[in-house]
Amino acid sequence: MAKPYVFITMQIPKEIVALLEDVAHVGMWEADTPCPRDKLLEEAAKADALFTMVVDRIDQEVLKRGQNLKIVANMAVGYDNIDVETAKHLGIMVSNTPDVLTEATADLTFALLMATARRVVEASQAVYEGRWQSWSPMFMAGQDVYGKTLGIVGMGRIGEAVARRARGFDMDILYHNRKPKTEAEEKLGATYCSFEDLLQKADFIVALTPLTDQTRHLFGRREFELMKKTAIFINVSRGPVVDEEALYHALKEKQIWAAGLDVFHQEPVPTDHPLLTLPNVVPLPHIGSASISARMAMARLAAENIVLALTGKKPKTLISE
Ligand code: DGY
């Protein structure tokens, strides 16, 4: 029987490609930039499996091209880039890479939270630009992290890992989900509260909710108005959960104190984006899970899911089948 064909939409390490080569012919977009749309469509038409990234839009058009497509394996925990409903309808499996990136993403969330609170990037820039003229009482003074109240919106695996870190900083932990999670409350000492209460009480509001129709623009003008003037907003989920214009306004008018953003509506965020003109914004280029070991584990898991699907077995981390 002819070997199946797998297309990988961005360059990944050779050792992961080798795993796939054991069972399939492998094609790859050999660059660190997204596979052009026409190439993706052309490859989808030939592929038995697609190894995809968050930057690939796997919509109806792509899925319908995939006459032989058995699985779309996304190298990410999030899968808002994939039309899962259509895939299901067409009998195409979709998998993601949960768990293996949880701790790395929680580390980055906490790093961003601390960098934003203590103005780490702004202070470092001051050193480079010769604006460090002397130690002085209030120079680059920021907000405390220790003992403050953390509000987690979206208490999934990553939320829980962030909460564990927060306990080490003696923080009070509030969270909001669609439903309370009693295990998390017992394990982490976290308290469930309404979205509005969380916005009003938390010193740090961390967005970790997946992007869905319900969470699009979850944080808008009204939500920023409810926050404390000293509040710090951290987004490590997806850009569109925030109305960026409302966030800009809240930061500019000092309705809230600062924001740490790992994700944006448009990625890469244009360098002339208004949010990038504000000193109280710490922007990062969507690196939540970007530790070497987490990224390798994500790539390996995506590849394993493909190998399992192509050898008639059940992939480990299916979103839909
Ligand atoms: C994810 O996994 O969803 C991240 O956003 C990409 O690492």
Residue 317 confidence (pLDDT): 98
Catalytic residue among 176, 286, 295, 300: 286
For the segment 35-63, the average pLDDT, to the nearest whole number, is 98
For the segment 42-52, the average pLDDT, to the nearest whole number, is 98
Q: What is the pLDDT of residues 95-108, one digit of tens each?
A: 999 999 999 999 99
The protein residue with its alpha carbon nearest to ligand 1, atom 1, reads 76
CATH code for the domain defined by 102-283: 3.40.50.720
* Token digits of residue 178: 């669609």
d(CA 173, CA 188): 8
| Residue 249 annotated to the active site | no
Instruction: Assess whether the C-beta atom of 78 lies below 6 angstroms from ligand 1.
Output: yes
Instruction: Assess whether the C-beta atom of 289 lies below 6 angstroms from ligand 1.
Output: yes
Instruction: Assess whether the C-beta atom of 310 lies below 6 angstroms from ligand 1.
Output: no
Q: Cβ contacts of residue 164 below 8 Å, gap of 6+?
A: 106, 188
d(CA 195, CA 151): 9
Q: Is 240 in a helix, a strand, or coil?
A: helix
Residue 320 confidence (pLDDT): 79
Q: What is the pLDDT of residues 183-219, one digit of tens each?
A: 889 999 999 999 999 999 999 999 999 999 999 999 9
Instruction: Indicate the domain borders of the chain.
Output: 5-100+292-320, 102-283
d(CA 298, CA 98): 8
Residue 86 confidence (pLDDT): 98
The protein residue with its alpha carbon nearest to ligand 1, atom 6, reads 76
Atom of ligand 1 nearest to the CA of 238: 5
Instruction: Assess whether the C-beta atom of 288 lies below 6 angstroms from ligand 1.
Output: yes
d(CA 230, CA 117): 10
- Cα dihedral sign for 54, 164, 192, 243? negative
268 cis-preceded (ω within 30 degrees of 0): yes
Q: Is 8 in a helix, a strand, or coil?
A: strand
d(CA 200, CA 217): 18
* Token digits of residue 171: 């923080």
| Residue 238 annotated to the active site | yes
| Residue 178 annotated to the active site | no
Closest C-alpha to 306, from 25, 1, 117: 25
Q: How far is CA 283 from CA 68, 175, 207, 232, 236, in A?
A: 41, 24, 15, 13, 11
The answer on pLDDT for 321 being more than 90 is no
Decide if 5-100+292-320 and 102-283 have a common fold: yes
The answer on pLDDT for 167 being more than 90 is yes
Q: What is the pLDDT of residues 107-164, one digit of tens each?
A: 999 999 999 999 999 999 999 999 999 999 999 999 999 999 999 999 999 999 999 9
Instruction: Assess whether the C-beta atom of 76 lies below 6 angstroms from ligand 1.
Output: yes
Residue 193 confidence (pLDDT): 95
Q: Is 5 in a helix, a strand, or coil?
A: strand
Residue 184 confidence (pLDDT): 82
Q: Which CATH architecture has domain 5-100+292-320?
A: 3-Layer(aba) Sandwich (3.40)
Atom of ligand 1 nearest to the CA of 78: 3
For the segment 285-308, the average pLDDT, to the nearest whole number, is 98
- Rounded to two decimals, the pTM is 0.96
Q: How far is CA 64 from CA 52, 56, 74, in A?
A: 16, 15, 17
Select from 105, 108, 208 the residue to mutate for testing ligand 1; criterion: most ligand atoms less than 8 Å from CB. 105
